[in-house]
Structure 1
Amino acid sequence: MLLIMLSVSKGQENVAIDEPGAVPVKCVACIEGKASRPSFRSTEIKTTAPLQLIVSDLSGPYEHAIGNYQYFMAVIDDYSRFVEVFLLKKKSEAADCLLHFINQMHIKFKNNGDYRVGKVRSDNGGEYTSALLENELNKLLIDHQLTVPYTPEQNGIAERFNRTEREKAKKMMFHANLPKKFWGEAVLYATYVSNRVVHSSTGAVPLERFQGCDLRSTSGLNDLRVFGCAAYVMIPSERRRKLDKNVENAIFVGVDKNTKAYRVYTTDGTMKRKIAVTFDEHYFPAKMDWKFSRDADVIYAVAPYAPETDDPFYSASGFPLPLLSFSSPAPSISGGDETEGDTTVSGGEEDSAVENIFGEPDEPDLSVVKNPVLSDLSDDDINPTSVLSVLLLQLS
């Protein structure tokens, strides 16, 4: 009789048989109870030139971003770790974006080494396995490598990038106190910066390694700014009057990769690309003044620049207040009847009112002028010269 001894202690999975010449068999119960995933070791041959291998992965869905985007797709060059990120509204747009990247790279390198995409690696998601994408890759003689299901390690470069950029974007939004709808802009700018700093795996700057250029000699780092900082956008002279502000308030959210213009978000809830922009990288409007409301797919921000100050004569517009405040009752600037409440302008346009200030208006009755800031001072304590100086400073 065969005496079967099941050895189920730690490290022993075989069934031992005391019959000479018997072949040990596996303990199925041990396998079922102890099976674990083996460690994954990459055996990939390293690439030696750009575009030999590009890897791609899709991340999402997320909350609707500005522009109604819900996904972002990364396309990474394995050799240089240069990354191109696309914002997508639907997964089905992934194939078109991937083909667009490939065609653009073939055009870019046609007269610069004539590099061409050799392999594309992605997961088995439906956005990467469409018949359209497979047919186009076959026409371009590109080998499409698909990873084994539930094995993200085979596409680890793209998987890790998506996680890292998502974390960067979150930290940037938290630091600037911006709503979640800015995640798309944050991901794009985080990628823009990542392409211009040294990568840990290559010890080189991805954009320099990809294009063979030196960013320091081409001023390629001068356009980097702190995400979410205050931006003051120059208003063209054709769109403003002589006494209007020269700039409009905005928030810096990135750099347009095609035009090299700054991407700014203005107080009227629109995204703009501008060249003439002045930045204050120590002031973040969303932390201080701007208030956001979510109406449909647009975020509106309304608040003036109001720096913190203990000066009682400092206004929200950033200019000192005059020492004399025309409160109720106060004379009309145009010399009309006195009205209750704020000063009114009647009998002409804005420009005529300004002319009246520097002309010879009716002499105001200073006995009705009240100043809450200087209410404790007597008339003898007020210096008329200083009053005029401050008023002219505000109007200059």
Structure 2
Amino acid sequence: MHRRLGHPSKDVLWQAQKHTEGFPPSIEFPKEDPICPGCTEGKMHNKAFLPSTLRATEPFELIHSDVKLFPIDSYHKYRYYILYYDDFTSNAWTVNLHNKSAAITATCQFLAMAKNQYGKQVKKWMSDAGGEYKSEAFDKMLKDEGIQILQSLPHTPQENGGAEQFNRTIMDKAEAMRHEVWLPESWWEFAVEHAVHLYNRTPVRRLKWCTPYEMLNGKAPSIKHLRIFGCGAYVFVPKDVRQNTLSRKSELMVYLRVAPGGHGVRFM
């Protein structure tokens, strides 16, 4: 389960057994943490960020946002992701971007999702003043939506603690999973997507060990569908895709994540 849930700590695993559906009840945890190659190679151990002094009292009241730049293009030629982190629920969303200018379109779609799916209007927006994507056009878009813009001081991203802490957590999780199964660096987009999916379904200490998913949706998440990132699986090949009647009916592929919307599974 440590690998299946994206390499969390033993405390988090113990809480996940109580706060999620589908966690095997018979699992016993070792007294000492065994050495995990994925954690050893993929996790960072930087100085902890101070918690943000701002705290929301309802979902979507305060969104922390940041853009993460990667040193290489991903499999689908993405170079960035933009983060949306809800302060009240700790639920997070990321959208992969080909360039920084795509952040405006992605954010408009995020705001529309908050309104249409949850009936919520974002009220405050916290970001790094020296961030990757800040522009007059972006600020105007937020102001036109009636959103109050809050910014951390330049070179002090710790003030935007929610986004900074999430970025560190999600990259620790994504890199631990990717390194363990020896996937190429360009597959970071798949590791990040799956890491976010796992994060939202993992208990958080600040939420008194509730999951972000339950805080947002009002019910405990099911983890029955989860598999180890990067594991092999034989995938059925539909008849209309096969070349002829002698073609293989299944192919060995790599498990990446549950497809967006929860319908189906993504393989490569």
Q: Normalized against structure 2, the TM-score is what?
A: 0.75
SS in 1 for 2:88: coil
Q: Does 1:254 align with 2:263?
A: no
Alignment correspondent of 2:174? 169
Counterpart CA distance in 2 for 1:244 and 1:41 is 56
Post-superposition shift, 1:135? 2.1
Counterpart CA distance in 2 for 1:40 and 1:93 is 30
1:129 to 127, 134, 140: 134
Alignment correspondent of 1:210? 216
Post-superposition shift, 1:231? 1.8
SS in 2 for 1:209: helix
How many corresponding residue pairs? 218
SS in 2 for 1:87: strand
Alignment correspondent of 1:5? none
Alignment correspondent of 2:241? 239
Alignment correspondent of 2:227? 225
Counterpart CA distance in 2 for 1:238 and 1:165 is 39
Residues 363-385 of structure 1, C-alpha deviations (whole Å, 9 max, x = no match): xxxxxxxxxxxxxxxxxxxxxxx
Q: Report the residue type matching 1:92 in the other structure.
A: S
SS in 2 for 1:204: coil
SS in 2 for 1:208: helix
SS in 2 for 1:189: helix
Alignment correspondent of 1:201? 206
Counterpart CA distance in 2 for 1:82 and 1:261 is 22
Q: Normalized against structure 1, the TM-score is what?
A: 0.52
Post-superposition shift, 1:259? 5.2
- The answer to whether the Cα contact below 8 Å between 1:165 and 1:190 also exists between their aligned partners in 2 is yes
Alignment correspondent of 1:14? none
Q: Report the residue type matching 1:256 in the other structure.
A: A
List gaps (5 residues or longer) in structure 2.
Answer: 1-48
Residues 309-343 of structure 1, C-alpha deviations (whole Å, 9 max, x = no match): xxxxxxxxxxxxxxxxxxxxxxxxxxxxxxxxxxx
1:117 to 96, 102, 122: 122
Q: Name the % identity.
A: 31
List gaps (5 residues or longer) in structure 1.
Answer: 1-38, 266-396
Q: 1:142 to 1:252 in 2, by over 3 A?
A: same
By relative contact order (CA 8 Å, sep 6+), the higher-ranking structure is: 2
Post-superposition shift, 1:52? 0.7
SS in 1 for 2:111: helix
SS in 2 for 1:214: coil
Q: Which has the higher helix share?
A: 2
Counterpart CA distance in 2 for 1:40 and 1:160 is 9
Alignment correspondent of 1:392? none
Alignment correspondent of 1:152? 157
Post-superposition shift, 1:152? 1.2
- The answer to whether the Cα contact below 8 Å between 1:62 and 1:71 also exists between their aligned partners in 2 is no
SS in 2 for 1:107: helix
Q: Does 1:181 align with 2:186?
A: yes
Residues 123-166 of structure 1, C-alpha deviations (whole Å, 9 max, x = no match): 12465432222222222111011111111121011011112211
Post-superposition shift, 1:234? 0.8
Q: Does 1:192 align with 2:194?
A: no
Post-superposition shift, 1:87? 1.2
- The answer to whether the Cα contact below 8 Å between 2:177 and 2:191 also exists between their aligned partners in 1 is yes
Alignment correspondent of 2:114? 105
- The answer to whether the Cα contact below 8 Å between 1:255 and 1:263 also exists between their aligned partners in 2 is yes
Please give the root-mean-square deviation of Cα atoms over the aligned residues, in Å. Answer: 2.0
1:68 to 54, 77, 81: 77
SS in 2 for 1:258: helix
Counterpart CA distance in 1 for 2:105 and 2:130 is 15
Q: 1:193 to 1:181 in 2, by over 3 A?
A: same
